[in-house]
Amino acid sequence: MTPGHAPKYRFEPLGDLHDRAAFSCGVEALDRYFQGDPIRQDVSRNTANAFVLTNDGVSVAGFYTLSPISILSVDLPASLAKKLPKRPIGATLLGRMGIEKTLQGQGLGELLLTDALYKTWQASTFVSSWAVVVDAKEGARDFYVKHEFTPFATQPNRLFLLMKKINLMFA
Amino acid sequence: MATATAPMPKAARKARERIDVRLRPEQKTEIERAAHIKGLTMTDFIIQNAVTSARQAIREYETWTLERPDAELFAAALMEPVVLGPRLTQAAKHYKKRFLPR
């Protein structure tokens, strides 16, 4: 890497070449998830897709996971029942996100989030997704609020961003 | 420690895995008592409860149930016209320039 030149980052689906063991975002639970078996199991069982940000195809600057999720509304008043179906609707869960701790504070979080939104938006043109949702761990909630996510009323750590809004970013 | 059931005929024998779990003596006593109350072996009691709890955790992870205030908030957002704020507008602009040339 030449000083003064931003590294040429790219996004790749998590693969065997990525050095997961060397990655640390400073949050123990996230590191355990990414360095160890859980993420591999999620990917191999197809319960989540994982993407990494890398500048050399090996070292990991950041990662995130996406998985399908259903949102079920119970006890809707008649006035809203027309807008929101009684059956579960499809959404996309931004399950985990982490940035290498030596690279934090450079806006990589926004880059990861935007890539996640872009991929979700692309996918939503094939399979319906009404929103991207996230279950923010402590400290991460502000990040999502800043990026125009709306917290739910009874569970303020769970936030959503409507697909029709994401559509405005990329359409 | 509860042991596995008596040997089954070969055809019915299914693959089994084992896990070793360490727990505090008082936890074991409590589980033993509960299993006894339910008329189950400790092994069966532990497996049944762990599987039920695992399924619930998975269901809760895969489906978010919105109670009325949350459903109202979500439905209201869906009905409102959407406006993209400055932060996401900028983010999209930077992202496109960097990753989506042309």
- pLDDT tens-digit profile, chain A (171 residues): 445 555 689 999 999 999 999 999 999 999 999 999 899 889 888 889 999 999 999 999 999 999 999 999 887 777 777 777 778 899 999 999 999 999 999 999 999 999 999 999 999 988 889 999 999 987 899 999 999 999 999 999 999 999 999 999 998
**Could B79 and A83 be called an inter-chain contact, meaning their C-beta atoms sit closer than 8 Å?**
yes
pLDDT of residue A1: 45
pLDDT more than 70, % of chain B: 86
Of A74, A115, A162, the CB nearest to B71: A74
Chosen for mutation from A114, A135, A158, A165 (greatest number of chain B CBs closer than 10 Å) is: A114
Distance CA A7, CA A61 (A): 11
* pLDDT score of B6 more than 60: no
Q: What is the mean pLDDT of chain B?
A: 87
Q: Is residue A142 part of a domain?
A: yes
| Residue reference for tokens 């923010």 | A136
Q: State the residue range of the domain holding A158.
A: 10-170
At residue A74, the pLDDT reads 81
**Residue A5 falls inside a structural domain:** no
**Distance, CA of A43 to CA of A49 (rounded, Å):** 6
CB nearest to B84's CB, from A75, A146, A165: A165
Residues A49 and A43: beta-carbon distance below 8 Å: yes
Tokens at A14, concatenated: 């998590």
pLDDT of amino acid A2: 46
CA distance A26 to chain B (A): 24
The reply to whether A2 falls in a domain is no
Number of domains chain A contains: 1
CB-CB under 8 Å, B87 with A70: no
Residue A132 CB: number of other CB atoms within 10 A? 26
For residue A1, is it within any domain?
Answer: no
Q: Any CB–CB contact under 8 A between B21 and chain A?
A: no
List CB contacts (< 8 A) between B95 and chain A. Answer: 111, 114-115, 118
- Do the Cβ atoms of A72 and B74 come within 8 Å? no
Long-range contacts of B35-42 (CB under 8 A, 24+ apart): B35/B2, B41/B2, B42/B1, B42/B2
Is A152 a domain residue?
A: yes
Residues B57-90: tens digit of each pLDDT = 888 888 999 988 999 899 889 888 999 999 999 9
Q: Model ipTM?
A: 0.89
Which of B52, B31, B55, B30 shows the shortest CA–CA distance to B43? B31
Q: Is residue A4 part of a domain?
A: no
> Structure pTM?
0.82
β pairing state of A158-162 and A131-135: antiparallel
pLDDT (average), residues B16-37: 94
Q: Which of A17, A20, A47, A45 lies closest to A31, judged by CA?
A: A20
Residues in A whose CB is inside 8 Å of some CB of B read 10-11, 68-77, 80, 83-84, 88, 91, 110-111, 113-115, 118, 130-131, 133, 146-148, 150, 152-155, 158, 160, 162, 164-165, 168-170
- Find where tokens 């992870």 sit: B61
Instruction: From chain A, pick out residues whose CB is under 8 angstroms from the CB of B63.
Output: 69-72, 88
Q: What is the CATH number of the domain that holds A99?
A: 3.40.630.30
pLDDT of residue B1 exceeding 50? no
